[in-house]
Amino acid sequence: MRFGLIFSLIIAIVAVLFALQNPQTMDVNLLFFETRGSTALVLMVTFALGIMVGLLSTLPKQLQARRKLKKLQRQIGSESKSSPGSSRPFAVLRRPPPLMPGAPIAVVAPASAPRTAATYEQGLAQLTETYEVRRAWRPGSERGYLSAPDADRVDALHRAIEDPDIRAIFCVRGGYGCLRLLHRIDWALARQHPTLLVGYSDVTALHLAFYTKARWTGLSGPVVTEWAEADPATLDSFQAWCRGTPSDLTGNFDAGLTPLASGTVSGPLLGGNLSVLSRLIGTPFAHLEHAGVLDAVAGVILGTFTTGELDPDKPTLFLDDVFDDYLGTRSYPVVRGLPYGHHLPRCSLPMGAPVQLRATAEETSLTAQSPVVDS
């Protein structure tokens, strides 16, 4: 502000000096208008008129930009709520349409191929009883532990996204390979066609990338190879989210959340497989605490973890010890015991959708604040 005032004064002084040092007069003719005036005054008036015309020419674009900004602000206001203690709203989300029985879907394999052909065929058959499978991955193009070369896998993903009839993209399984696709995905295409992405484990990489790059919400739910053996609680949790029904994320499961640190917060639910999440940080030495992630979140929810066989003759730290070391003294709520991991039954999680985490002496709960689909 002070610099602008000083600059304006300098321009004014220069203009006055120019007028005093150039007292000559000149004839001015414009169409039928004729007059005579100071050369300096004529030049300054012409310069001022040029500035005004330039400013007026940009006025339509400025008004259009202002209208877009107001529209975006209204969208943010309707899409989100502010987190406690923060005035920053959630990002505007691109929610896919609801996924109802009989809807057309695509089945892709962005990571590894099925461990056995039987589990895939049985799961695909079970999936076909609920939805219309328009596109489905077929064996024959495997490359090592990958279901197909990178270019083929990302092409299948693109074709599913750009198909206007496809209501959801189901992943065959996790394994490994989704990280190899992130730099190949057409994010502009994704922003134009939000589609419900279903999967977990290695699909964590896709869920987080689509949220970051395209503002998709997704569903961390059962992969195709699990559908033949999925229990009612797992399927009910998944289908409730597909219908757009916000609910208690643990309502259908015989499991209780245990608080490690208390508090109540709201925010977008992000995460998934911890191993994949760690690799997304960016370096081979990255650690969630060292990378600052644990200082930036509003809360932490721990699912179930698999451990190898312990040698009774060797000293070790148990999971409870590790959780206490890194999370027990946090200023935000931390809970464990969410029925989510590499097992069944398992609850489905709405990636990117706002949820509320409550960990108090009276109640420990994780509830949805809005649907994952555009209901």
pLDDT digits (tens, 9 = 90+) for 318-348: 888 888 888 888 889 999 988 888 988 999 9
Residue where a domain stops, chosen among 41, 63, 79: 79
Can you give the pLDDT at residue 92? 77
**Is there a domain that residue 206 lies in?**
yes
What is the pTM for the complete model shown?
A: 0.72
Q: What is the CATH number of the domain that holds 162?
A: 3.40.50.10740
Look up tokens 């709201």; give the residue: 266
- Please tell me the distance from the alpha carbon of residue 67 to that of residue 59, in angstroms, as a whole number: 12
**Is there a domain that residue 125 lies in?**
yes
**Is there a domain that residue 278 lies in?**
yes
Report whether the peptide linkage leading into residue 222 is cis, meaning its omega lies within 30 degrees of zero. Answer: no
Phi, psi (degrees; rounded to nearest 5) at 309? -70, 135
Can you give the pLDDT at residue 364? 86
Q: Indicate whether 120 and 250 sit together in one domain.
A: yes
Q: Indicate whether 69 and 210 sit together in one domain.
A: no
Q: Helix, strand, coil shares of the chain as percentages rounded to 5?
A: 40, 20, 40
Q: Is the dihedral of CA 176, 164, 215, 245 positive or negative?
A: negative
DSSP 288-339: TTTTTHHHH-S-EEE---------TTS----HHHHHHHHHTT-SS-EEE--S
Q: Indicate whether 74 and 108 sit together in one domain.
A: no
Can you give the pLDDT at residue 75? 47
Question: In the chain, how many domains are there?
Answer: 2
Can you give the pLDDT at residue 32? 67
What's the Cα-to-Cα distance from 231 to each of 97, 228, 239, 296, 345, rounded to whole Å?
25, 9, 12, 36, 6
Q: Indicate whether 157 and 303 sit together in one domain.
A: yes
Residue whose C-alpha is closest to residue 358's, from 248, 237, 274? 248
Q: Indicate whether 195 and 109 sit together in one domain.
A: yes
**Is there a domain that residue 2 lies in?**
no
Can you give the pLDDT at residue 255? 63
The crossing angle, in degrees rounded to 10, of helices 2-21 and 39-79 is 160
Q: Is the dihedral of CA 179, 184, 190, 196 positive or negative?
A: negative
Residues of the chain with pLDDT under 70: 1-5, 7-9, 11-12, 15-23, 26, 28, 30-32, 37, 39-40, 42-43, 50, 54-55, 65, 68-91, 246-247, 251-252, 254-255, 281-292, 308, 375
Q: What residue numbers bound the domain in which 214 lies?
A: 104-368
- What six digits make up the tokens of 70? 């107001």
